[in-house]
């Protein structure tokens, strides 16, 4: 019986449900076995005042999410990338004014190419009869709104030309704005917003380098107290590092549901782009292969599907 309960708990643990384990455990069970399972699993079942063991409502909700992970991953994978990003943005609005909703908007706006972001905006028009810019402006009312609207509206130059003198000058502008952040939040500084939302990523990487030479540490270290600017800079200049952090947070045992969704989102959206580079960076940062971490954390068909996407890069 102990082995049965241990196997059942394992089937429900982590990310995704191990469907084959559940079939093996429950498929041939008798009523008394299932009663023993209920009584022996107080983390899943509660003793009702009417003398029967019932599912914990919270656990039922969580399990529904776990069963849905494979389906959601598969649906996202088969979508056109424009539609996928448009729906991810729309879903972010449903999270309310949370850090997760801000992060998804910044991620899509800053890690896609100019044409990919334009495509997502076109798809959003078709799907929801609004523009992304309109909905960002409607849903976000804080000091970050101007930055977010400008990020999703961007169509950056993607050529090789960078004016080094301009990059040095703008590194000084950013350093000065951050230095005086206690007087004026840098996210409200028009020059900071202009630089981060209009310059090419190659130009911003030059700014990033000059900033470090000027300040003695990286800009995202200095932006520790301004997380939305920190994530913006990281997505624009070090996207593989950003994605690795999202993946790591998504697989922590105490991660919130919206944080867990980052595992599906990153693996599926980057599988055709830079997942190989992300897996290399993840291994460098955390000392364990991403595939091994997913294998140890996720379950069932969901785990197998994610691993199949990662192995495409081998």
Give pLDDT tens digits for 264-314: 999 999 999 999 999 999 999 999 999 999 999 998 899 999 999 999 755
pLDDT tens digit sequence for 163-190: 999 999 999 999 999 999 888 999 999 9
Q: Around 170, how many Cα atoms within 13 Å sit in the side-chain half-sphere?
A: 24
Q: What is the pLDDT of residue 253?
A: 86
pLDDT tens digit sequence for 3-16: 566 666 666 666 78
Query: Would the pLDDT of 70 be above 60?
Result: yes
- Say which DSSP state 15 is in: B
Percent of the chain with pLDDT over 90: 66
Q: Which two tokens stand for residue 122?
A: 């076109």
Distance (Å, whole) CA 109 – CA 154: 8
pLDDT tens digit sequence for 205-219: 999 999 999 999 999
Question: Residue holding tokens 């850090």?
Answer: 99
9-13, 45-49, 87-91: range with lowest mean pLDDT = 9-13
- The SS3 of residue 54 is strand
- The SS3 of residue 98 is coil
Q: What is the pLDDT of residue 100?
A: 79
Q: What is the pLDDT of residue 279?
A: 97
* Mean pLDDT score, 79-98: 87
| CA dihedral sign, ordered 65, 70, 75, 79 | positive
Q: What is the pLDDT of residue 14?
A: 67
Domains and CATH numbers, the chain: 2-42+50-67 (1.10.220), 79-155 (1.10.220.10), 159-237 (1.10.220.10), 241-311 (1.10.220.10)
Average pLDDT, the chain: 90
- What pTM was computed for the model? 0.89
Query: Would the pLDDT of 1 be above 60?
Result: no
* Mean pLDDT score, 33-51: 85
Q: What is the pLDDT of residue 254?
A: 86
Query: Would the pLDDT of 56 be above 90?
Result: no
Distance (Å, whole) CA 286 – CA 252: 13
Distance (Å, whole) CA 306 – CA 292: 11
Banded model confidence at residue 243, pLDDT cuts 50, 70, 90: very high
- The SS3 of residue 154 is coil
- Say which DSSP state 46 is in: E
pLDDT tens digit sequence for 132-156: 999 999 988 889 999 999 999 999 9
Q: What is the pLDDT of residue 32?
A: 85
93-102, 165-174, 237-246: range with lowest mean pLDDT = 93-102
Q: What is the pLDDT of residue 21?
A: 76
Q: What is the pLDDT of residue 7?
A: 64
């Amino acid at each position: 019986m102990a082995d049965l309960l241990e196997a059942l708990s394992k089937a429900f643990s982590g990310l995704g449900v191990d469907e084959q384990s559940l079939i093996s455990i429950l498929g041939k069970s008798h009523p008394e076995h299932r009663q023993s399972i209920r009584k022996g699993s107080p983390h899943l079942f509660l003793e009702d005042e009417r003398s029967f063991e019932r599912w914990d409502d919270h656990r039922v909700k969580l399990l529904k999410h776990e069963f849905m992970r494979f389906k959601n991953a598969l649906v996202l994978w088969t979508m056109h990338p424009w539609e996928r990003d448009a729906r991810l943005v729309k879903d972010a609005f449903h999270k309310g004014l949370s850090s997760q909703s801000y992060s998804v908007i910044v991620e899509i706006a800053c890690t896609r190419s100019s044409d990919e972001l334009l495509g997502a905006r076109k798809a959003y028009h078709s799907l929801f009869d609004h523009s992304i810019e309109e909905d960002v402006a409607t849903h976000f009312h804080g000091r970050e709104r101007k930055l977010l609207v400008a990020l999703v509206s961007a169509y950056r130059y993607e050529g090789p030309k960078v004016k080094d003198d301009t990059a040095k000058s703008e590194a000084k502008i950013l350093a000065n704005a951050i230095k005086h952040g206690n007087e004026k939040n840098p996210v409200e500084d028009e020059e900071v917003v202009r630089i981060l939302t209009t310059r090419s990523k190659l130009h911003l990487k030059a700014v990033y380098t000059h900033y470090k030479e000027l300040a003695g540490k990286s800009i995202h270290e200095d932006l520790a107290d301004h997380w939305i600017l920190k994530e913006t800079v990281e997505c624009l200049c070090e996207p593989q590092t950003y994605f690795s952090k999202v993946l790591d947070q998504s697989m922590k045992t105490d991660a919130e549901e919206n944080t867990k969704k980052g595992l599906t989102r990153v693996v599926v959206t980057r599988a055709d782009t830079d997942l190989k580079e992300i897996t290399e960076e993840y291994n460098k940062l955390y000392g364990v292969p991403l595939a091994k971490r997913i294998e140890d954390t996720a379950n069932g068909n969901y785990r197998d599907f994610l691993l199949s996407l990662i192995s495409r890069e081998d």
